[in-house]
Structure formats: structure tokens, C-alpha cells
Amino acid sequence: MRPTDLTLAQGLAALERREISALELADAFLAAIERLNPRLNAYITVTAEAAREAARASDARRARGEAGPLEGIPLGIKDLFCTEGVRTTAASRILGPFVPPYESTVTAQLKRDGAVFLGKLNMDEFAMGSSNLTSAYGPVENPWSRANDPARRLVPGGSSGGSAAAVAARLAMGATATDTGGSIRQPAAFCGIAGIKPTYGRCSRFGIVAFASSLDQAGPVARTVEDCAILLRSMAGHDPKDSTSARLPVPDFRAAVGRGVKGLRIGVPEEYRLPGMAPEIEALWEQGLAWLREAGAETVPISLPHTKYALPTYYVVAPAEASSNLARYDGVRFGLRESGADLKDLYERTRARGFGAEVRRRIMIGTYVLSAGYYDAYYLKAQKVRALIRRDFEQAWSRCDAIVTPATPTAAFAMDERQDDPVTMYLNDVFTVTANLAGLPGLAVPAGLDSQGLPLGLQVIGRAFDEETVFAVGGALERAAGFTAQPGIMA
Amino acid sequence: MSLDAATVRRVANLARLRLEESEVETLRGELNGILGWIEQLQEVDTEGVEPMAGGAPGEARLPWRADAVTDGGIAGKVLANAPDREGDYFAVPKVVE
């Protein structure tokens, strides 16, 4: 087996048995990046020398008997995580040459556990998008393509499109990602890999470029559910630098993956059966539920009555928070500066030039819904509907232990499809956004292929801080699906 | 509720985004498309519902910490990315005559 074919769990085992060194592993992935990144554009920055140096240090630690839980594992880092001494762009022009003087807590913990960073991964600008088309560093190509139209380039989803494409194409063993409305789960589903958005508060947000602070959560993407569980254990944990991070112990998520689903009640929300939903998606959902029943779970119909209001709620709350968070990009303290006649002119020119069209649209919406006279009608109203969405889930948990839905309403679409209307693009997140609004964990698992050979995913949503049950259900789905298909472009 | 061109300009000013006259109409159309879609929230009965502020799934209580300095003396790091600086200060165009 070639080193890039190893799952993260297999890579750890091979390193432990000294069948491969961290340096050999890093070199194999760096060679794959050199060959395929010019086409896929998954990485914005490749830190080859730093990766080799970190790999050598990792091999030395292992030789001394000081191996950490991720010792020698090569990872890609979404370019939303601040990495000390390594340029961090959020895929925006406005951050320009910004080099963080500090490290995000999540990446610091991955380093603490021995991981080797290969570079910084492309994404939608400020994590705003579902296609990776809004990146100032160009779009990422999905390594998968349609059987009947292989030349047509597809999107990897977004916003963590670089993370998902890199893992699917074997340009990293796993990657960090973030999810505000579906930005881990939708690209994972589009690229045929697994990804989990943990409970709000499970991972520290310190050092992650902020988009919508009450919705943003970090999580891993990787090729298997088990690999995600291994990564999440290192990424999670209380951090005094993030006042919203939970003071809870971090469970052994990996142990939960094989736990089985016997006796679990799996909720099936009626409201997720959208009119006009692709029959293939509906069939895969039914198949997933049948697999879980065969594994000993019970499926129960549930109702989440406010589901249809989740996306409009999100598109008030998220832009409102974004317009506040992005006020800091003023051309004064870091990043891009456009000169102006006076200070206000400097601000306005810097922000108009530095932000892309989608980011500017969201800042405008957010500023409007927070402005005097509109705050109650839009922002306060959305916060109340958000409370009702959370209550829907609280009531559902009396009837079920986890909820299973499709991850996305369609398979990956082409780069030249549906860019015209912002609202159509927003509908990509229809199945994922509810978990962000309610603060709950959600996992995407690759479960099948559509008639064009494109991957489709299922989503598992769990109770707050019960990622273990989510992993157990995800593991059962993964074992039953036996997803072994591979993308056309792969190291 | 539909935005007119003057409101688009006013919001852009609040957001400190320079807007060219040629962009106003396109942006007005896009924003009205989004706001029209958001309008459906008005049909939800939220009488007596406490607004959910923050993202915590349960009852959120922000923790307290000691009111003590935890870092400092890192002016070099703080200023390292400044587009323009004078000594230990960020430099901007003259604000007061």
C-alpha cells in the first residue's frame, strides 16, 4: 500500500510499527501535493520545509519513546486557523500578507499531539459560501467528476472545500475545517469523505478567524469516521481563552465508533422530506435507515416543525454577527490598506477592495438587520425563531437518541452552475444549518454514489455533547455502506 | 419591505463600504431578493419566546475570571502586521487639523 492510501488510523499503526517514518510520510504527501495541487488548488500555502522539519522532530520524539496520539500524522489546515509565523488569509484579499503572531488553540493542540502540518487549505472567503467559488485565491476543483461528463469541473462544496478536496485526493491524511451552517458536512459529502461539526463549545474558537461567533465550530474532515474521532479528541477541550468553550472532559471518541447501535432510537424528521428532492437522495436515506434497523436500531418518525425557517433565520443571524466581526478589517492594524483622502475614505476604499462580492453582500445584510428601526423586525425575530428551532430538537430527544438525514439536497454541482442567485446557493445548507442554530453535533458519512458516480452522504445529528452516540451511528452507517469508491483525481 | 437606492447607500456608509454609483442597482436587487426570502420569518408565532442569544445548546452562563492582566509587553507582536506605523503606534492619515 502506498503511504498516501493509508487512513489516519492505519498511518498511526504503521508509524508505531516503524514500517514508515514521519518524514517518509510527509514526503509522500508533499510529492502528491506538488503533482496535483496545481490542478485542484486545494492548498493556498504549502509549507514543505516546515513540514519536513516537523516530521524529523516527530521521528526523534518517537525514537525517544515520547510519541503523542497523532505523532507524525500529516494534516492540512484550513486557512481560517491562525498559525504562528505562517501566512493566514481566510481566502480574502483583505488579510493580504497577514502572518499571525500566535497559534489557534485547535492547531496548537494538534501540534502538541505530534501532528505535522503540510500547509494551509483553500476555502470560501471568510467561510462564506457553499462552493469554494468565493475564494480570492481561485476555486478548488472537486477530485470527483460525472461519469457522463468527466471534463466538466465540479465544486468541492464549501466553505471547507480545500480541506475536503485535499483529503479526498490524498493530499493530506486529515484536515481541520470549520462549520457555521454546513461548511464541514456539505463539502465532506460532496467529496465522499467524513466530517464532523461537534457541539458548540466542544472546540475552542480562539485563533480562528471569526465569521458568526454563535455558530462557528471547528471540526475535522478525514476519510473515515474513526479518523474523524481520532482527530476530534485532539482538537477538543476547554480553553480559558474562549469563554464559550465547554468545561467538560473530552471522551475517547474513537472507542465510540465501534459501539454499535443496538437499542438506539433513530429519529427521522418528516420535515426533511423536501418537495422535489432527488429520488436518489431519498432512496439513500431509506437505505441508511434500513441499515441501522438491520444493525439493531429502531427508527421513529419525529417532527421538527420549524425546519423550513432555519435557513432564513441563519441568513439574519450569521450576516449580523459577520458584519460586527468583520468591522475589524479597517486597513489600520493588519492586512490590506488602500490609501484614502482621510481616515473614513481609507476605511471605505480598503473594505471595498479587500472584500469579495459575497462577503460585501453579507456585511450589507447584517448591517441592515442590526440598524435602528429594523433590529426588532429582523434580528430579534430571528433570535426568537432560533429558540424555537432549538426547542424542536429538545422535544425530539424524548423520542430518539440520534437523528439521521441526508447531508445535502444534491450531489456536487459544476463550477458553471447556479452562481447567479445567492438564495439558490444558500439552499445547499438546508439539512445542515439546523444543527448550527441549535448548537448540536452533526456528522457527514459517505454512504453511496448517484447515477453519475458522484458521492452522496448521510448526516447524523446528536444531543448536545453526545458526539459518542453520533460516532456510533456514523460508524454503523459506514460499515454497512462499505463505501470504497475513489475519485478520478487522486494521488 | 423593499430597499430603495438611498437606503442601500446609507447602509453601505454605515458598513464603511465604498459603493460606486454603478453598483447600487445590482446590489439593491440582490439584497431585496435575500430580504424578500427572509420575510417569511414574520409568519412564525414567537409570542412569549425568549430570543436565543449565543450559540450554546443549553442554558449559557458565561464564566467569570479574575480581573487580572494575563499578557502584555508585546508591542512588537501587536504591530508586526501594521500597514504603517510610527514607533510603537499605528499610523493613519491625519484625522484632526
Looking at residue B35, which CATH number applies to its domain? Answer: 1.10.20
Contact assignment for B95 to A343 by CB distance below 8 Å: yes
Nearest CA in chain B to A379: B51
The mean per-residue pLDDT over the stretch A273-279 comes to: 87
* Local confidence band at A113 (pLDDT 50, 70, 90 cut-offs): very high
The mean per-residue pLDDT over the stretch A169-182 comes to: 98
* Local confidence band at A341 (pLDDT 50, 70, 90 cut-offs): very high
Domain assignment present for B58: no
The pLDDT value recorded for residue A20 is 98
Measured N-to-C along each axis, helices A467-481 and A279-294 cross at an angle, to the nearest 10 degrees, of 100
Residue A445: pLDDT over 90: yes
Which residue bears the cell 479526498?
Answer: A168
The mean per-residue pLDDT over the stretch A321-326 comes to: 98
The mean per-residue pLDDT over the stretch B71-87 comes to: 95
End-to-end CA distance of chain B: 42
Residue A219: pLDDT over 80: yes
Q: What is the mean pLDDT of chain B?
A: 92
Residue B59: pLDDT over 70: no
CA distance A62 to A59: 5
What residue numbers bound the domain in which B20 lies? 1-40
**What is the DSSP secondary structure assignment for residue A379, as one 8-state letter?**
I
The mean per-residue pLDDT over the stretch A475-481 comes to: 98
Contact assignment for B81 to A363 by CB distance below 8 Å: no
DSSP string, A4-60: GGS-HHHHHHHHHTTSS-HHHHHHHHHHHHHHHHHHH--EEEE-HHHHHHHHHHHHH
Element (H, E) at A76: strand A74-78
The mean per-residue pLDDT over the stretch A410-435 comes to: 88
Sign of CA pseudo-dihedral A107, A110, A111, A117:
negative
The pLDDT value recorded for residue A427 is 87
Contact assignment for B83 to A384 by CB distance below 8 Å: no
Contacts of A209 by beta carbon, 8 Å cutoff, 6+ apart: A80, A81, A82, A88, A90, A95, A126, A127
Contacts of A473 by beta carbon, 8 Å cutoff, 6+ apart: A261, A264, A266, A292, A297, A402, A404, A443, A460, A462
The mean per-residue pLDDT over the stretch B13-19 comes to: 98
Domain assignment present for B29: yes
Using a CB–CB cutoff of 8 Å, tell me whether B49 touches chain A: yes
Which residue bears the cell 447515477?
Answer: A451
Percent of chain A with pLDDT strictly greater than 90: 96
Domain assignment present for B35: yes
Q: Which residues of A touch B51 (CB under 8 A)?
A: 380, 383-384, 386-387
The pLDDT value recorded for residue A121 is 98
The mean per-residue pLDDT over the stretch A475-480 comes to: 98
The pLDDT value recorded for residue B1 is 62
Residue B92: pLDDT over 70: yes
Report how far apart, in Å, the C-alpha atoms of A391 and of each of A50, A86, A177, A313 are.
Answer: 47, 42, 27, 14
**What is the DSSP secondary structure assignment for residue B96, as one 8-state letter?**
-
CA distance A218 to A160: 11
Residue A421: pLDDT over 80: no
Contact assignment for A244 to B55 by CB distance below 8 Å: yes
Q: How many CB atoms lie within 10 A of CB A415?
A: 18
Q: Does pTM surpass 0.90?
A: yes
Domain assignment present for B48: no
The pLDDT value recorded for residue A1 is 83
> In angstroms, what separates the C-alpha of A236 from chain B's closest C-alpha?
15
> In angstroms, what separates the C-alpha of A156 from chain B's closest C-alpha?
24
Q: Which letter, b or e, does each residue of B7-41 get, where b requires 16 or more Cβ atoms within 10 Å of its Cβ?
A: bbeebbebbbbbbeeebbeebbebbeebbebbeeb
Lowest mean pLDDT among A24-28, A366-370, B49-53: B49-53
Amino acid at A421: D
> In angstroms, what separates the C-alpha of B36 from chain A's closest C-alpha?
10
Domain assignment present for B13: yes
Coil, helix or strand for A414?
Answer: strand
Using a CB–CB cutoff of 8 Å, tell me whether B27 touches chain A: yes
Using a CB–CB cutoff of 8 Å, tell me whether B73 touches chain A: no
Using a CB–CB cutoff of 8 Å, tell me whether A329 touches chain B: no
CB A395 within 8 A of CB A273: no
The mean per-residue pLDDT over the stretch A409-417 comes to: 93
From the list A354, A454, A469, A362, the residue with the least C-alpha distance to A93 is A354
CA distance A154 to A451: 16
Contact assignment for A423 to B54 by CB distance below 8 Å: no
The pLDDT value recorded for residue A422 is 79
DSSP string, B81-95: T-SSEETTEE--S--
Residue B53: pLDDT over 90: no
Nearest CA in chain A to B47: A384
Catalytic residues of A: 78, 159, 183
Contact assignment for B52 to A421 by CB distance below 8 Å: no
Contact assignment for B83 to A213 by CB distance below 8 Å: no
Biggest distance spanned by C-alpha atoms of chain A: 70
Using a CB–CB cutoff of 8 Å, tell me whether A384 touches chain B: yes
Q: Which residues of B touch A101 (CB under 8 A)?
A: 74, 77-78, 80-81
Q: Which residues of A touch B84 (CB under 8 A)?
A: 337
Q: What is the mean pLDDT of chain A?
A: 97
Q: Which residues of A touch B90 (CB under 8 A)?
A: 332-333
Coil, helix or strand for A77?
Answer: strand
Domain assignment present for B59: no
The pLDDT value recorded for residue A260 is 98
In chain B, % helix, strand, coil (3-state, to 5) comes to: 40, 5, 55
CATH code that applies to domain A3-264+407-481 = 3.90.1300.10
Please report, for chain A, the start and end positions of each structural domain, with discontinuous segments joined by +: 3-264+407-481
Q: Which residues of B touch A99 (CB under 8 A)?
A: 80-81
Q: Please report the residues numbered 110 through 169 in chain A whose beta carbons come closer than 8 angstroms to any beta carbon of chain B.
A: none
Lowest mean pLDDT among A172-181, A383-392, A461-470, B51-60: B51-60
To test the contact with chain A by mutation, choose from B38, B40, B96 the residue with the greatest count of A C-beta atoms within 10 A, namely B38
Q: Which residues of A touch B58 (CB under 8 A)?
A: 464
Residue A261: pLDDT over 80: yes
From the list A116, A155, A104, A101, the residue with the least C-alpha distance to A15 is A116
The count of domains in chain B is: 1
